[in-house]
């Protein structure tokens, strides 16, 4: 059984792959994808500001917490901007990458070159309702959306991945 994905490296594809890669990394997930990382401190800052105003604290104390509140919004904006800049700097944006999988492993052919990875060399996989994320190393992963399939079926991809990469889970 052989499957083939034709992936065009568009901004939407890169953003989806970026979002899913961040979701796989616990530290990055806390920084970029958890609401409480940004909103819990903001609630605290607002509480301190209100407490300072009501109890007539020194305005410098209240202004510091107001500054921290502003910096929290700025930090979130800078984080989102850095992800967007990383997408813009991708060297091969707009090119097409072909990813083929069979019993021997994964073949990747693109503008940057080609490579082959045996199944034993792949670290993990995550199966999503709309595709599969194959993690080749701690820093490299390939997002294989079902809509990019040109040969084979989504069931074939999931079967190949599930049979050959044992160390992982399924996202539903």
Give the domain CATH number at 165.
2.30.29
Residue 172 pLDDT class (50, 70, 90 cuts): very low
Whole-angstrom Cα distance, residue 120 to residue 53?
Answer: 62
Express each pLDDT in 82-112 by its tens digit: 878 887 888 788 778 888 888 888 888 888 8
For the chain, percent of residues with pLDDT exceeding 90: 0
60 and 7, same domain (yes or no): no
Counting the structural domains of the chain, the total is: 2
Note the pLDDT of residue 35.
Answer: 67
Whole-angstrom Cα distance, residue 131 to residue 1?
Answer: 18
148 and 137, same domain (yes or no): yes
Note the pLDDT of residue 29.
Answer: 66
Is the pTM of the predicted complex or chain greater than 0.75? no
62 and 72, same domain (yes or no): yes
21 and 50, same domain (yes or no): no
| Rounded alpha-carbon distances, angstroms, from residue 52 to 67, 71, 72 | 14, 19, 19
34 and 109, same domain (yes or no): no
Which residue segment(s) compose the domain that 74 sits in?
Answer: 27-88
Q: Is the pLDDT of residue 151 over 70?
A: yes
57 and 73, same domain (yes or no): yes
18 and 39, same domain (yes or no): no
Q: pLDDT averaged over the chain?
A: 81
Per-residue pLDDT averaged across 130-147, rounded?
A: 84
99 and 65, same domain (yes or no): no
14 and 54, same domain (yes or no): no
68 and 143, same domain (yes or no): no
């Amino acid at each position: 059984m052989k499957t083939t994905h034709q992936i065009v490296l568009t901004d939407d594809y890169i953003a989806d792959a970026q979002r899913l890669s961040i979701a796989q990394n616990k530290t990055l997930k806390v920084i970029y994808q958890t609401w409480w990382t940004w909103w819990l401190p903001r609630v605290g800052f607002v509480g301190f500001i209100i407490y300072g105003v009501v109890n007539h604290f020194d305005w410098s104390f209240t202004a510091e917490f107001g500054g921290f509140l502003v910096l929290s919004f700025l930090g979130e904006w800078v984080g989102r901007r850095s992800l967007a800049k990383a997408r813009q700097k991708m060297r091969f944006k707009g090119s097409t990458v072909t990813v083929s999988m069979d019993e021997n492993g994964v073949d990747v052919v693109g503008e940057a070159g080609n490579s082959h990875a045996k199944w034993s060399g792949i670290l993990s996989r995550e199966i999503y309702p709309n595709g599969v994320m194959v993690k080749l190393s701690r820093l490299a992963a390939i997002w294989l959306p079902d809509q990019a399939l040109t040969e084979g079926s989504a069931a074939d991809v999931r079967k190949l991945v599930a049979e050959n990469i044992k160390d992982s889970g399924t996202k539903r």
